[in-house]
Amino acid sequence: MESFDYVVIGAGSAGCVLANRLTEDGETRVLLLEAGGSDDVVEVQMPGAWSALLDTERDWAYTSMPLATTGRAVNVPRGRMLGGSSSINAMIYIRGNRADYDGWRDEFGAKGWGYDDVLPYFVKAESNARLAGPWHGADGPLRVEDPLYTHPLSRDWVGAAVDWGLADNKDFNGATQTGAGLYQLTCRDGRRWSVADAYLHPVADRANLTVRTEATVTRILIEKGAATGVVYRRAGVEQTVRADGEVLLCAGAIASPQLLMLSGVGPAEHLREHGIEVLLDAPAVGTGLQDHASAPLVWNTHGATDQRDLAESEEALAQWVSDRRGPLTSNIAEAALFFSTTGSAVPDIQVHAGATTFWDDGRGHSDQPGAGATVTLLTPESRGEVRLRSAEPTDHPNIDFRFYEHRTDLETLITGLEMVLDIAGHEPLASHLTGPLLLNTATPDRAQLAEYVRRYTQTLYHPVGTCAMGAVVDPRLRVRGVDNLRVVDASVMPAVVRGNTNAPVVMIAEKAADLIK
């Protein structure tokens, strides 16, 4: 039987980092298994085309259970290729807030994961084109740049927020997160710079690294309380490989708990319902699910072009192909707002704003020029779970977010919507807006906004928490009760961070590599 020192399950953001760092010595043998295929397609490389990847073969395209509070299911895109969700996301580089990591340490017992502990790993990973120490790195694998193209309406969003009272913030990952500005992106010279680009492709020829795509892991082998290998399907053939050291599970907040349960690690009664032998009764596996619930606000505009129309023009395509410039270097969601609904110094609302309409995960779009803002709850109290739909590994699991189960979550998001509607009334933005597109009135009351949220809620594609530190894994990311098995991905976050989750996952994997070594 084939054997390696480490078998890494999932070539997403965490798996690519581990594959790189664990093979640096030239001797440690690593097998990286990815269920999807190559990332070598132009839609991945072109920043402005990310929404075109949704619902394709490079997206797991999960769908949640209907939300009890809204009656509607939400889409849960996840990257299914080398680079994982870093090859399908909107490339926004946000780390979260100091309070998030100190909270992991103080509230969830994640010793060694406070802000001062994790900052060196953010810095180690980063190569920032504009910003420098002490908060930023200059020579890490992950390139971070200012956008090469910004639509004038995105700058108007920033100007209106500043006129409303937010600070002009040039670095959301520095001294303070609150304010308005433009997002930095994980791009390099007008091209997406995924974690596969940063960590995997440059070392793909290492003799001690083996990468296999189209390889779907069906279960982790656990013998006498220790992980010893994995079983996977490739080209219709089931294969087994042994891990002489450890199995490293990096399949993400949806698939990692699913795979643990398929392997006999999870809530005993639930596993027995699906005919799975219980090797470890671990009730917390799959619980604690969080994501950033969000709702879109959209307006028709006059006197301004639509970003989507610009990006879809032949001129924009020719400009990107010839010299990686122009509207297709934009991630569409260009402007950032972080603020608190309570007056706190720590934000509880994040806004992604730009010069096009965007709702229903991009499926909704006006034929007229427009502007939009996705208003996002950063600090949800509600928690859901991931549970098996069947014992067949290729069946998607049941995903139950339970958004707004805590009423305070809905109330905070409604207040955030009210504040963004107020911001939209300020110049230089207001004179371009002709009226709301989805709302029935320009001055909705809270009851109308509550109904609006129920109709238009979506996730911000940031699922976390289903194999959390303190519940499923210890602070060294080792699965409690199973030797030689770690989880390294967004599922280990005990609470979702205040912001986009890709940069934190890279940090987690950088720190995990040191813990493993």
Spatial separation of the C-alpha atoms in residues 282 and 268, rounded to whole Å? 7
Alpha carbon distance 75, 57 (integer Å): 15
CB burial class (10 A; 0-12, 13-18, 19+) of residue 171?
middle
Respond yes or no: is residue 302 known to be catalytic: no
Distance CA 103, CA 290 (A): 15
196's torsion region: left (phi>0), alpha (psi -120 to 50) or beta? alpha
Q: Which position among 151, 292, 352, 462 bears the catalytic label? A: 462
Q: How far apart are CA 496 and CA 492, in angstroms?
A: 10
Start-to-end CA distance of the chain, whole Å, equals 25
Q: Is the CB of residue 331 less than 8 Å from the CB of residue 480?
A: no
User: Burial level of 80, CB count in 10 A (0-12/13-18/19+)?
Assistant: buried
β partners of residue 359: 364
Spatial distance between the Cα atoms of 432 and 159, rounded to a whole number of angstroms: 13
- What is the DSSP-derived secondary structure letter of residue 216? E
The HSE-up count of residue 494 (CA atoms within 13 Å, CB side) is 22
CA distance 322 to 253: 38
Instruction: Count CA atoms within 13 Å of residue 390 on its CB side.
Output: 5
Q: Which residues contact 40 (CB under 8 A, 6 or more apart)?
A: none
Distance (Å) of CA 267 to CA 76, 227, 473: 24, 18, 15
Q: Are 171 and 135 in contact (CB under 8 A)?
A: yes
Q: Which two tokens mark 265?
A: 């690690």
Nearest alpha carbon to residue 5 among 26, 24, 31: 31
Question: How long is the chain?
Answer: 517
Report, as residue numbers or ranges, the catalytic residues. 462
